[in-house]
Amino acid sequence: MTDKSTSRPLALVALIAGQILCAGFFLWDVAIDGLEAAWPPLNNPHFVIETLAALALIAAVAVEIHLLGKLLRREAHLQAQLSIAAGAFHDIMEARFADWQLTPSEADVATFTLKGMSIAEIAALRGTAEGTVKAQLGAIYRKAGVTGRGALLGLFVEDLMQTPQSTPPDGAGHATSG
């Protein structure tokens, strides 16, 4: 998880903790008002309004805690699915590259291309000329039997869509075919 995604739940937890403190203060205030009010205290509109406000705040905090728990579980599930998909994509890439008999340099260029990098960016990363990257891309496209980046990426997307989905590590899901 990144620092940013970790700080969001912490900020929400801090906010909920503040609301719990406020709810505690309001409950204490309602209890004091109830003891000071003429009996029965429900005849006092101020006491009734404060009591309802405190109860509404407590209910809102309970709902927030429940929703935050659901969101954190959902995020963990999505992270697990993303990890599975990334692993599957990597496996498909390795298999395709081996089938096409790409050289190590061509495999690097193909990987960077699939990541969406430009020819200039790939050349800079690899410390080669743009012409070299273009020549390697031409060889990759020829070996893959495609005419460009979109078609190359389409091969991998098609493979992913045909690959059966793995069961999440926690065993909560069922394997399905895509």
> What pLDDT score does 178 carry?
40
Please give the C-alpha separations between residue 146 and each of 59, 92, 98, 111, 171, in angstroms, as whole numbers.
59, 17, 16, 15, 38
**Tally of CA atoms within 13 A in the half-sphere of 21 that contains its CB:** 6
Same domain, 7 and 43: yes
- Look up the domain containing 146 and give its range: 101-162
Identify whether residues 109 and 42 lie together within a single domain: no
Q: Counting every residue, how long is the chain?
A: 178
Are 13 and 71 members of one domain?
yes
Question: Do 10 and 55 fall within a single domain?
Answer: yes
Do the domain assignments include residue 111? yes
Per-residue pLDDT reduced to its tens digit, 14-61: 989 999 999 999 889 888 888 877 667 777 788 888 889 999 999 999
pLDDT band per the 50, 70, 90 thresholds, residue 166? low
For the chain, the C-alpha Rg in angstroms (whole number) is: 29
- Decide: pTM greater than 0.85: no
Amino acid at 132: T
Of 41-45, 112-116, 154-158, 165-169, highest mean pLDDT:
112-116
Tell me the C-alpha distance between 159 and 91, whole Å.
11
pLDDT attached to residue 21: 93
pLDDT, residue 176, reads: 46
Rounded to the nearest angstrom, the gap between the alpha carbon of residue 146 and the centroid of all alpha carbons in its chain is 32
- Give percent of the chain above pLDDT 90: 49
Indicate the number of domains in the chain: 2
Residues 66 and 111 in one domain: no
Measured in whole angstroms, the distance separating CA 132 from the mean position of its chain's CA atoms is 37
CB 123 within 8 A of CB 133: yes
Write down the pLDDT at residue 42: 75
| 158, pLDDT greater than 90 | no
Whether pLDDT at 132 is above 90: yes
Confirm whether 150 is domain-assigned: yes
Q: Is 87 among the domain residues?
A: no
